[in-house]
Amino acid sequence: MPELPEVETVRRGLAPVMEGARFARVEARRPDLRRPFPKNFVKRLEGQTVTGLGRRAKYLLADLTSGEVLLMHLGMSGSFRVAAEDGETMPGDFHHERSQDRAHDHVVFHMSSGVRVTFNDPRRFGLMLLVPRALLSDHPLIREVGPEPLGNAFDADLLARACARKNTSLKAALSDQKVVAGLGNIYVCEALHRARLSPKRNARTLATRSGKPTPRAEALVGAIKDVLNEALRAGGSSLRDHRRTNGELGYFQHHFRVYDREGQPCPTPGCGGTVRRIVQNGRSTFYCPRCQK
């Protein structure tokens, strides 16, 4: 499942070709993805200009001149391709390879600029909805989403408050979209390693009895922001440069210090530990038992 940095790099790739452009023609090649497309989906898009392309958590939000917002989610396997006169690109920095099989091209936006934006999604867990802008913050998919990890509002106070009454592991707490938006398995593992906190540690220990943040909460917030910012910087440079010879975007394992590195030496200077894999809530967790306490 793509996480926040992947989605944000997709947004950055699509914004220059979609913002200010009009949907000249839209093809919806099937009736649904994870859910049916909205009623009159094509009609409600065609003729509308995209006034801005934003993001909230892992949702891409295209503001339209009609006052509606086109809400898009990549699901498990979704990706966009951008075809312009000078060739085709796939914006985004994905850990798992994306399909380029044309049989899974489900939605095509023919923009007034001549650019074609194609949504491909083999597993069809993606989502496209139309929501009136004024109702967006109350939409069931949006209203319970926690703070943006790179926003100023996300700090140790907020994280400690969100975790103070949680009787779960740190891994589970950070994976909870109500605690913080957009983190998944990869960046939770990476942030915990940088903060030198065990994924098994109880999330309550981020707060004192009176609910104030402990130094652990400070360290963890800093680590989350660092990990995400580094991934975004790498994603920006990967738009063209890191393609495999077959044209597909491949692994970016060099970004990761522990994720998918079971049995390898811990990269923390002077640690000497070995990265271990355990299973928490049915998902793999990678961490170093020596320096993460």
Which of 180/220 has CB closer to Zn ion?
A: 220
Annotation says 283 is catalytic: yes
CA distance 63 to 89: 23
**Cβ-contact 79, 90 below 8 angstroms:** yes
Residues touching Zn ion, count (CB under 5 A): 7
Annotation says 3 is catalytic: yes
In the complex, what is the shortest distance from the CB of residue 290 to Zn ion, in angstroms, rounded to a whole number?
5
In the complex, what is the shortest distance from the CB of residue 202 to Zn ion, in angstroms, rounded to a whole number?
20
CA distance 55 to 280: 29
Of 25, 166, 233, 283, the catalytic one is 283
Q: In what order do the strands lie in the sheet with 68-73?
A: 50-56, 59-64, 68-73, 127-132
Task: Pick one of 49, 214, 268, 274: the residue that binds Zn ion (CB under 5 A).
Answer: 268
Longest Cα–Cα distance in the chain: 61
Q: Give residue 18's identity as a one-letter amino acid code.
A: M
Please report whether residue 16 would count as binding Zn ion according to CB under 5 A: no
Annotation says 200 is catalytic: no
Task: Pick one of 107, 127, 129, 288: the residue that binds Zn ion (CB under 5 A).
Answer: 288
Task: Pick one of 230, 273, 277, 283: the residue that binds Zn ion (CB under 5 A).
Answer: 273
Annotation says 248 is catalytic: no
**Cβ-contact 262, 275 below 8 angstroms:** yes
Angle ∠(107,111,117) on CA atoms, nearest 5:
40
Among residue numbers 238 through 267, which ones bind Zn ion (CB under 5 A)? Answer: 266
Contacts to Zn ion by CB under 5 A: 266, 268, 271, 273, 288, 290-291
Which residues belong to the active site?
2-3, 58, 283
